[in-house]
Amino acid sequence: MSRFERKILFAIGLAVFLALGGSIFLAQGALRDVYAVGVNERFGAELVHGVEARRGQLIALRVGSDQVADAVLWAVEAQLARSRSDTALDSLLTELLDRYEGVQSIRLIDDADEVLANVVRPPDPVGGALRTTIRDRETGRGAGKLRIAVEVSVPERYFERLQEAGEVADVYSRLQQQGASVSDVYAWVFGVLAFLVILVAFLIGAIVSRRVTRRVTDLADASRKVGAGDLTVALPTGARDEITELTKAFNQMVRDLRDSRTRIEYLQRIGAWQDFARRLAHEIKNPLTPIQLAAQEMSETYAGEDEDYQKKLLQARAIIEEEVATLRRLVGEFSAFAKLPRADLSPSDLCELIESIRISIPAVLEDVGHGAAAPVEVQLTCATEPIRVRMDPMMLKRGVDNILRNAIQAVYEAHPTGGGRVLVRAYQSQGSGFVEIRDNGPGIDEKNWERVFDPYYTTKAEGTGLGLAIVKKVVLEHGGEVRLDRAPEGGARFSIELPLMES
């Protein structure tokens, strides 16, 4: 785990711990307060008293019903002692039923289990449920034994109320006993929840910080690689955040470094080739004059009679002079390349360059077309607005000239009887000025697009391969770039890009 990740996780842990710790503490306190107010001894005692009172009421009811039963018994016994007539008994029982509200029925049963009399209170339509007790008495007075069954009832709701009150008191006393442990349970649940929250927060924090640190370490690794000279590194830019900004800036920096390294390498290479060209020109140039003089001397001082030999001598002298002339031309080009000055930049307009090229076109056509009335059409265009760049007009003209000569040569060979076209145009686009030279010649094979800019690369019998090398050197010294691809009309397209001046 990196130091950054540890710091992030520590911060998350601290924040969560403080927040949750504080709330646990507060919640526990609040719970205790609630208990202290709602669950206390006095409330409990009052509830118990209420239950006791209800119970007393019920006992009183039961005692009452016993007394009623006894009273009924006595009245019936007294009547039996007086007379056993059925009608008298019935009317007594009916009267008793009227007198004692709680009595539901009275029955007289004799020895042989025969019911002698039975009165039943008609059901009360709004009375609700009743709990009934039967008081069974025997009496020995009078003739034979008799049983009296008095059914006495108490409304069921009294019992229900007692039960409810008992339950409430029960719950209350349980709450009172558990007061301390309940708040502990809440604290536990809260603690477990807090632990889970911390765990989740840590996981999320770990994932986020791991992603951030991985990208930062990737950047650090890439920077080390760049430091070690590897300029091919490029980091992926996915998310939209500050690190992506940094990564983009880093990639741009590596690209710029790569560009300027290629530039420097090419210029160094050109410098070496210039040294080589200087030595070569020097070594070749010196013996040329003696060779030419010797050939002249030989042909002029021959005094023999052999005509054939005389002729051969003249032929040899012509060949030697021709080759020496070619060599002189090459030497001239080599030393011109060797002496190529550095570009001296000053503010200028690309359209002026186009105009100066326009003036030199007839001479170039004459030169490249070897005097023939070259059937090559050269078209030059420029924007109406000036295209302001910093340039060395002489050097850049020389560069464009080299490209133009190649193009004219190529289309002249491809269309010797006419139809060859070369287009030169200057324009500006996206902060850069461009000069584009394209033709309808045979074009260049894509695999040679890099090599044509190398010094001494040529496909021509009398070529030096220096033209495009000079172009590239000049353009690089302008802080620009020269590119090659295929023209829409099928030939080669060279494109010089120069940075526009800030207006």
Ligand X SMILES: Nc1ncnc2c1ncn2[C@@H]1O[C@H](COP(=O)(O)OP(=O)(O)O)[C@@H](O)[C@H]1O
Chain residues in the site for Mg ion (CB under 5 A): 406, 467
CA dihedral 159, 163, 166, 172 (to 10 degrees): -150
Cβ proximity to Mg ion: between 79 and 402 the closer is 402
- Decide if residue 410 touches ligand X (CB under 6 A): yes
Interaction partner, residue 365 (ligand X, Mg ion, none; CB < 5-8 Å by kind): none
Write the CB contacts of 84 (distance below 8 Å, at least 6 apart in sequence).
Answer: 142, 143
Contact 231, 254 (CB under 8 A): yes
Cβ proximity to ligand X: between 39 and 407 the closer is 407
Residue 138 forms beta bridges with which residues? 147
- Decide if residue 459 touches ligand X (CB under 6 A): yes
Cβ proximity to Mg ion: between 292 and 406 the closer is 406
- Decide if residue 436 touches ligand X (CB under 6 A): no
Residue with smallest beta-carbon separation from ligand X: 467
Interaction partner, residue 444 (ligand X, Mg ion, none; CB < 5-8 Å by kind): ligand X
Contact 489, 440 (CB under 8 A): yes
- Decide if residue 490 touches ligand X (CB under 6 A): no
Structure tokens at 188: 């536990």
Which one of residues 299, 348, 402, 440 is an interface residue with ligand X (CB under 6 A)?
A: 402
Taking CA atoms, 264 is separated from 283, 359, 400, in Å, by 29, 34, 22
Q: At 36, which amino acid appears?
A: A
Which one of residues 47, 72, 146, 407 is an interface residue with ligand X (CB under 6 A)?
A: 407
Place of tokens 């069974």: 136
Residues 159-197 as b or e (16 or more Cβ within 10 Å = b): eebbeebbeebeebeeeeeebeeebeeeeeebeeebeee
Residue 118 forms beta bridges with which residues? 107
Which one of residues 155, 463, 479, 499 is an interface residue with ligand X (CB under 6 A)?
A: 463
Cβ proximity to ligand X: between 245 and 450 the closer is 450
- Decide if residue 457 touches ligand X (CB under 6 A): yes
Which one of residues 102, 205, 433, 441 is an interface residue with ligand X (CB under 6 A)?
A: 441
Which one of residues 467, 474, 478, 498 is an interface residue with ligand X (CB under 6 A)?
A: 467
Q: Are strands 420-429 and 376-382 parallel, antiparallel or unpaired?
A: parallel
- HSE-up of 74 (CA within 13 Å, CB side)? 5
Cβ proximity to ligand X: between 333 and 392 the closer is 333
Q: At 303, which amino acid appears?
A: A
- Residue 328: Cβ-neighbour burial (10 angstroms; 0-12, 13-18, 19+): middle
Q: Shortest Cβ distance from residue 461 to ligand X (Å)?
A: 10
Place of tokens 């070369």: 422
DSSP 314-330: HHHHHHHHHHHHHHHHH
Q: Shortest Cβ distance from residue 233 to ligand X (Å)?
A: 33
Interaction partner, residue 407 (ligand X, Mg ion, none; CB < 5-8 Å by kind): ligand X
Which one of residues 153, 209, 406, 440 is an interface residue with ligand X (CB under 6 A)?
A: 406
For residues 398 and 346, what is the distance between their CA atoms, to the nearest angstrom? Answer: 16
- Decide if residue 468 touches ligand X (CB under 6 A): yes
Interaction partner, residue 479 (Mg ion, ligand X, none; CB < 5-8 Å by kind): none
Interaction partner, residue 172 (Mg ion, ligand X, none; CB < 5-8 Å by kind): none
- Decide if residue 404 touches ligand X (CB under 6 A): no
Interaction partner, residue 441 (Mg ion, ligand X, none; CB < 5-8 Å by kind): ligand X
Which one of residues 444, 482, 498, 500 is an interface residue with ligand X (CB under 6 A)?
A: 444
Identify which range of 185-193, 226-234, 290-298, 399-407 contacts ligand X by CB under 6 A.
399-407
Place of tokens 């397209």: 493
For residues 219 and 431, what is the distance between their CA atoms, to the nearest angstrom? Answer: 30
Interaction partner, residue 145 (ligand X, Mg ion, none; CB < 5-8 Å by kind): none
Cβ proximity to ligand X: between 288 and 414 the closer is 414
- Decide if residue 270 touches ligand X (CB under 6 A): no
Residue 115 forms beta bridges with which residues? 109
Contact 343, 471 (CB under 8 A): no
Which one of residues 222, 338, 351, 452 is an interface residue with ligand X (CB under 6 A)?
A: 452
Taking CA atoms, 292 is separated from 287, 300, 325, 330, in Å, by 9, 12, 9, 16
Q: Shortest Cβ distance from residue 408 to Mg ion (Å)?
A: 10
Interface with ligand X in residues 76-135 (CB under 6 A): none
Cβ proximity to Mg ion: between 443 and 467 the closer is 467
For residues 50 and 249, what is the distance between their CA atoms, to the nearest angstrom? Answer: 83
**Residue closest to 212 by CA, chosen among 3, 460, 454:** 3
* Residues near ligand X, by CB under 6 A: 402, 406-407, 410, 439, 441-442, 444, 452, 457-460, 463-465, 467-469, 491-492
